[in-house]
Amino acid sequence: MKSKVNFHIHTTHSDGGKTPVEIAALLADAGVKYFAITDHDQVSGNTEAAEQAARHGLKHIDGIELSCCFADGEIGLDESWVVHILGLGVDIAKMQAELIRIEGEKDVRLRELFDLLAADGYKIESKRVTINGRITARKTIAKELINKGYAANGDECYEKILNAEKYRKYAKAKPSIREGIAIIHACGGLAVWAHPFGVTRGGKKEIREEQVIGLLSYMIAYKIDGIEAYYHKYSPERIRLLEGLADSNQLIKSIGTDFHCSPFDSDKHPEYVELQKKESIVFDADGISPDERIAEILVNRG
């Protein structure tokens, strides 16, 4: 069954390869009626998306995918681990103000971390970790440490250096899970846990089923509104598990394909060719009938 809803789409305003203009045309051709642009920690693509939605007769919901860290020890993970929370139906002006505040705090922490590492004898170069004078992410510092031979790979760099007690406090360059959900609510949106099995730390990782269940208990305490139960890259069995968790906890079941269509060098990364072929602008899973009531809930809230 092909869903008329896709509330997880990225554009060129973050790490996607299509503009909002191109996305709207793709959605219209695919028969999708309701959509949200959920760029990573950005809301700038929403205005153009709304204009294009009107042009194509689609219903657009302002959205974001907010990066949040494990700052409260949930399921035993520390601040270097990140989970993504979708904000659906957010006030983009209010969210933009929050993003500016978050970026300012992150800039200070990352610069302090770099300066401390340099003072402690790590021979890292500022010009190699900055873009327009800013250190954009802790993983940029990690890459420089690896390039200088202090660690063999990302996991070793975090375990051996960046997660040491002296440096770990600078990991919180993002809002905590609790804070992220509160920010989305303060901006008038619904908070939905994106791809619940997926987390990041220097790259994409997966958590186990029991960890998903454990983390959900924290999410519920933090007033999460929903789960991305219908995720394009999940098996029918995994989707049914998430459906059950949502239903038993009276949570909204969201639908998304995490569409990126990001540009890449096919010569250097031939494996991405097949992966991109599997990307889709429309949710379609064998044996799964997505609950599309979330679309009307969000439209009626507006």
Q: How far apart are CA 263 and CA 16, in angstroms?
A: 8
Give the pLDDT of residue 79. 83
Domains observed in the chain: 5-92+176-301 (3.20.20.140)
- pLDDT by position in tens, the chain (length 302): 899 999 999 999 999 999 999 999 999 999 999 999 999 999 999 999 999 999 999 999 999 999 999 989 999 998 889 999 999 999 999 999 999 999 999 899 999 999 999 999 999 999 999 988 899 888 899 999 999 999 999 989 998 999 898 998 887 778 999 999 999 999 999 999 999 999 998 788 999 999 999 999 999 999 999 999 999 999 999 999 999 999 999 999 999 999 999 876 555 556 655 666 779 999 998 888 899 999 988 888 76
Give the pLDDT of residue 136. 85
Q: How far apart are CA 5 and CA 18, in angstroms?
A: 18
Q: How far apart are CA 216 and CA 208, in angstroms?
A: 12
* Alpha helices in 128-254, H assignment, sequence order: 138-147, 154-157, 165-168, 177-186, 209-221, 236-248
* Count of alpha carbons within 13 angstroms of residue 71, beta-carbon side: 15
Give the pLDDT of residue 13. 96
Classify burial at 40, counting beta carbons within 10 Å of its beta carbon; exposed 0-12, middle 13-18, buried 19 or more. middle
Q: Residue 206: beta bridge partners?
A: 198
> Distances from the Cα of 91 to the Cαs of 6, 189, 205, in angstroms?
19, 7, 31
Classify burial at 113, counting beta carbons within 10 Å of its beta carbon; exposed 0-12, middle 13-18, buried 19 or more. buried
Q: How far apart are CA 150 and CA 297, in angstroms?
A: 51
- The β-bridge relationship of strands 226-231 and 190-193 is parallel
* E strand or H helix that includes residue 91: none
Give the pLDDT of residue 201. 84
CA angle, residues 270, 135, 101, in degrees to nearest 5? 115
Give the pLDDT of residue 265. 55
Closest by CA to 24, choosing from 64, 63, 56, 2, is 56
Residue 27 amino acid letter: L
Cβ contacts of 42 within 8 Å, gap of 6 or more: 13, 14, 64, 99
